[in-house]
Amino acid sequence: MTVPTPHIAAKAGDIADAVLLPGDPLRAQLIATTFLNNPVCYSEVRGMLGYTGTYNGRRISVQGTGMGMPSISIYATELMRFYGVRTAIRVGSCGALLDEVKLRHIVIALSAHTNSSMTSRTFNGLQFAPTADFGMAVAASTLAAERGLDTHVGSIYTSDSFYDDNLEDTMRLAAYGTLAVEMEAAALYLIAAKERARALCMATVSDHLLTHEMLSAEERQTGFMAMAELALDTILATD
């Protein structure tokens, strides 16, 4: 297959080799218009907006991915396999699973457990360990500490369900030190491993599964933008 791909209407060269991946396409637009110079929208297919611009002189793209492993898998594969993306940082939100992980804190996922069949099917039942790029994880946590951002680095849980009727598995993972739950990281790490690209997932805590607290929409936005800036600077720091 060549470009354009079924889900991204960009021409060859329209997309930078480093991308930020928010789930929400309107967040992609907000990041692009806030932080990038001369942002150009390269795709609107299915409303999943993608932009390219420059950040401190470095060409960077921001692409919405939608929610869940199948959706981010489509975008990560097309970006890495057909548009030459080598570096990808998911900037998402997550639900905290531990007391010490509070609302607004940033979680940096070294690894992602999952209940999805995507990893087990890929390896015939073998338990693959979806893992972040080490250099990017170190750079992000160092930059976050310098900025005084509350950050936790460790494993997260990529769940196939947002509305999970049975939280037994989630709570068992919490008992094993899993920081938070979200729905995309394991797929991003799996695909980056296959495509030999670098990937990292960071997520701001938007809700807490133990206390049932939630951020307001406005609080979510503020925390999210600080994290997007952290992700952009992580790209510069690891070039």
Q: How far is the CB of 52 from ligand HPA (least distance, A)?
A: 27
95 binds ligand HPA (CB under 6 A): yes
CA 166 to chain centre: 25
Q: How far is the CB of 97 from ligand HPA (least distance, A)?
A: 9
| Candidate residues 14, 133, 182, 233; the one interacting with ligand HPA per rule CB under 6 A | 182
| Candidate residues 150, 195, 207, 219; the one interacting with ligand HPA per rule CB under 6 A | 207
| Candidate residues 110, 140, 183, 188; the one interacting with ligand HPA per rule CB under 6 A | 183
Q: How many residues does the chain have?
A: 239
| Catalytic entry in 150, 160, 164, 207 | 207
Annotation marks residue 233 as catalytic? no
Q: What is the DSSP pairing of strand 87-96 with strand 18-21?
A: parallel
Q: How far is the CB of 28 from ligand HPA (least distance, A)?
A: 17
**Where does the chain have alpha helices with state H?**
25-35, 69-77, 117-122, 134-146, 168-175, 185-195, 217-237
Q: How many CA atoms are closer than 13 Å to the CA of 20, on its beta-carbon side?
A: 36
SS3 at position 66: coil
Q: Name the segment binding ligand HPA (CB under 6 A); options: 27-35, 53-61, 89-97, 185-193.
A: 89-97
- Structure-block tokens of residue 221: 């936005």
| Candidate residues 5, 73, 87, 93; the one interacting with ligand HPA per rule CB under 6 A | 93
Give yes or no for a contact between 48 and 64, defined as CB atoms under 8 angstroms apart.
Answer: yes
181 binds ligand HPA (CB under 6 A): yes
Give yes or no for a contact between 114 and 169, defined as CB atoms under 8 angstroms apart.
Answer: no
238 binds ligand HPA (CB under 6 A): no
21 binds ligand HPA (CB under 6 A): no
Give yes or no for a contact between 147 and 233, defined as CB atoms under 8 angstroms apart.
Answer: no
206 binds ligand HPA (CB under 6 A): yes
Q: What is the DSSP pairing of strand 151-158 with strand 58-63?
A: unpaired
Amino acid of residue 198:
R
52 binds ligand HPA (CB under 6 A): no
| Candidate residues 162, 171, 176, 213; the one interacting with ligand HPA per rule CB under 6 A | 162
Residues in touch with ligand HPA (CB under 6 A): 93-95, 159, 162, 181-183, 206-207, 209
Catalytically active residues are 207
